[in-house]
Amino acid sequence: MGASNDTAGPRKPKTDPGQASGPTYSVDPTDVARFSALAETWWDPKGPFAPLHRFNPVRLGFIRREALARFGRDGSARRPFEGLRLLDIGCGGGLLSEPMARLGFDVTAVDASEKNIGTARIHAEAQGLTIDFRHGTAEGLMAAGEPPFDLILNMEVVEHVADPAAYLRDTAAMIAPGGMMIVATLNKTLKSLALGKVAAEYILRWMPPGTHDWNQFIKPDTLKDWLEAAPGVAVRGPFGVTYDPLSGRFSESDDVGINYMMIADRD
């Protein structure tokens, strides 16, 4: 299936003098500015990023389980992923970077917002964690000759970039042999429009209005096509995630109507 029927197409790349050097065609300065304005609230579980705090347990469980299987590590070990390199793209305040570092990964975390990186760095240092936080883009790391990563986390980023097909192709190229990339995003369905956009932003007020553009949500077949366009990559999924309003928890599910994840494995 082609991608052109499922998305509005790449948005025109824009430049931002505050960005680090290197290719920035994935960056939408409007989104960078929006998240930068909220930078100090990343670690407030009742603040604008409360949905991510609710979402984090299911994301972390999925990442840990899939990484243990992929790399053949012992799940009973305190730091089972020692010696493996991880890239957290669009790391925000470090909500995923910190637990990944605690699990033993050598974590590099990149974000296009300098304010987000500042918040993430201060919080990690207060926790005694060593994480290599970078202000810039994944493409900038690649252009600078950064070595490949065993695990790349590409979580809730692709729906915010200007050219998602090119972005996924380039980030997949950064997966080390035997490594994997996990992509999480929102499906483009009427259900996701009603619940993932309208209800989440305007009724429940889980996030500021305008955080997401439903036109940029991506159908699983489209995401799969884009990932499979990267040489040497095999794709698994989609793996659905649903929200139970009674328990207030997210969980893994066969329902991919709103949130879902995919895995790109490199031989």
Binding-site positions for S-adenosyl-L-methionine read 59, 90, 111, 155
Among 66, 67, 107, which Cα is nearest to 87's? 107
Of the candidates 137, 154, 139, 149, the residue with the CA atom closest to the CA atom of residue 174: 149
3-state secondary structure of 251: strand
- Residue positions in the annotated binding site? 59, 90, 111, 155
Nearest partner of 185 among 246, 98, 256, judged by Cα: 256
Give all strands (DSSP E) within the chain, no chain letters: 85-89, 106-111, 132-135, 149-155, 175-186, 233-244, 249-253, 259-266
Helix/strand/coil for 24: coil
d(CA 179, CA 201): 35
